[in-house]
Amino acid sequence: MISWLRDNAGTVASYFLQHVWLATLPLVIALVLAIPLGWVARRYGWLHTPMIGLTGLLYTIPSLALFVVLPLILGTQILDPINVVVALTIYSLALLVRTVADGLGSVPGDVEQAATAMGYTGFRRFFAVDLPVAVPVIAAGMRVAAVSNVSLVAVSALLGVPQLGLLFTDGLNRDYFPPLVAGIVLCVLLALALDGLILVLTRLLAPWQRIARGTS
């Protein structure tokens, strides 16, 4: 195992870095898209159910089928990483629209009233009050989406897209243990790292949570 890692360190590192950006970029794009969509779903009650239902249906699309169909829609090559980015953005968006809507719905009414009384209205209140208060709920959805993305990226190895999933296919094809173990361990470590990063960012963006816990 150690000798295999030493001999293939460059390849494994390259796959790992590729896996990192394929898992994280869709998460960022989906969050940027989910914030306005979640606001619309929360702001206009009659749109909430159809929007949440429609985005939720996106998550039911089989990942391998989506990876195969997207090149036909986008006009890309089957091995183009953009296919993975678009597919995982769709899946992340399916999770985050509901999360953002729920997060904005968790803002207490008295907080909204106090902010309005202080002159915070419209988009100013949204960015200064509503969105920051909703951060813990949104972050919980981000953590689920991040871990999900790490695993879904590996599926694209069946099409030959370079990332840690290729270690799985290589190990299975050769009936060789070290690549399988390395791929599993690195995927788990990446998922833990992303989860930890989101937790740290949440504490930085919502410091009042620590204060509330300390006084409870």
pLDDT of residue 187: 95
Domain ranges across the chain:
1-206
Q: What is the mean pLDDT of the chain?
A: 89
pLDDT-derived band at 210 (thresholds 50, 70, 90) equals low
Tokens 């204060």 -> residue: 211
**Options 3.40.50.2000, 1.10.760.10, 1.10.10.350, 1.10.3720.10; which CATH number does 1-206 get?**
1.10.3720.10
pLDDT in tens, 45-55: 888 889 888 88
Predicted TM-score (pTM) of this structure: 0.89
Task: Say how far apart CA 148 and CA 87 lie, in whole Å.
Answer: 12
pLDDT-derived band at 160 (thresholds 50, 70, 90) equals confident
pLDDT above 70: residue 186: yes
Percent of the chain with pLDDT over 70: 95
pLDDT of residue 112: 82
Q: Spell out a b/e string for 45-65, using b for 16 or more CB atoms within 10 Å of the CB, else e.
A: eeebeebbeebeeeeeeebee
DSSP-assigned states of every residue in 104-131:
HHTS-HHHHHHHHHTT--HHHHIIIIIH
pLDDT of residue 174: 84
pLDDT of residue 139: 95
Q: Cβ(157)–Cβ(165) under 8 Å?
A: yes
pLDDT of residue 113: 84
- Rounded to an integer, the average pLDDT of 167-178 is 85
How many degrees, rounded to 5, is the angle at CA 93 between CA 166 and CA 150?
25
Task: Say how far apart CA 113 and CA 61 lie, in whole Å.
Answer: 41
